[in-house]
Structure 1
Amino acid sequence: MKNASEIARELVSRRLAACVNMFPISSIYRWNEQIAEQNVIAMFVKTDSSCLNEIIEVVKSLHTYDLPAIEFWEIEGEQEYLDWVHVNSS
């Protein structure tokens, strides 16, 4: 959780994200041809797509994993909220 909080604070302080939500989850995955299971923190980074490359750089530089899972989805939503995300992450 400490590393996730550090990453989230850095993204918000640099205005690369308007908000970051963190959720504890259990993950089962294959790594180095072994099946692993670990409790991890999933982070939902609410941002504008113009920040994606910078976010990738920040996450990779601060994350403790060799290969952090960084995925992006385009979203639709209530326009006033999406405007707030845009203003606060660019």
Structure 2
Amino acid sequence: MPEVLVVLTNCPDDASAEALAALLIERRLAACVNVLAPCRSVYRWQDRIETATEVPLLIKTTPVRYVELEAAIRANHPYELPEIVAVPVMRGLPGYLDWVAAETAPQPDDEGAAPPLA
């Protein structure tokens, strides 16, 4: 059974969430990105309690692609310090996990990956 990760991040709005999801799929860094309904986040930032409406992303990938995925999120995320949390999938439908691994397998043309979004 291939190793699979679910990576969590939040974007400030639908447009940035959709753009990031498309980029990750285009570069084969993720097999699937779920763009969820907006949620309310409460957190401490620079000694102040903040609240924000955010759009959560659930990103399915593999450990082999994680370093590149994290770099792509950091390069294309509007936040100074984005949440990037990877959770290992302990069990899952074998066919689905195989599909995630196949969709995120490095391709021969990965050397010429597209530059970050503007």
Q: TM-score range by the shorter chain?
A: over 0.9
Structure-to-structure mapping, 1:52-71, within 5 angstroms: 52-71=66-85
User: Post-superposition, which runs of at least 4 consecutive aligned residues in structure 1 deviate over 3 A?
Assistant: none
**1:14-60 deviation line (CA, Å, top 9, x unaligned):** 01101100112110000010000011011110111111100111101
1:89 Cα deviation (Å)? 1.1
Which residue of 1 is the match for residue 52 of structure 2?
38
1: CA distance, partners of 2:40 / 2:64 = 31
> 1: distance between equivalents of 2:43 and 2:100?
32
Distance 1:31 1:19 in 2: 30
Give, in whole Å, the separation in 1 of the partners of 2:103 and 2:40.
Answer: 31
Deviation at 1:8, TM superposition (A): 0.6
Decide which structure has greater helix share. Answer: 1
Corresponding residue for 2:110? none
Give the TM-score, by structure 2 length.
0.74
Runs of at least 5 residues in structure 2 that lack an aligned partner in the other structure: 1-13, 106-118
Q: Paired residue for 1:73?
A: 87
CA RMSD of aligned residues (A): 0.7
Task: Count residues with an aligned counterpart.
Answer: 90
Q: 1:48 aligns with which of 46, 54, 62?
A: 62
Matches of 2:48 and 2:30, distance apart in 1: 34
* Structure-1 separation of matches of 2:70 and 2:44: 22
Alignment pair present for 1:6 and 2:19: yes
2:28 maps to: 15
Mapped to 2, the partners of 1:26 and 1:86 lie a distance apart of 32
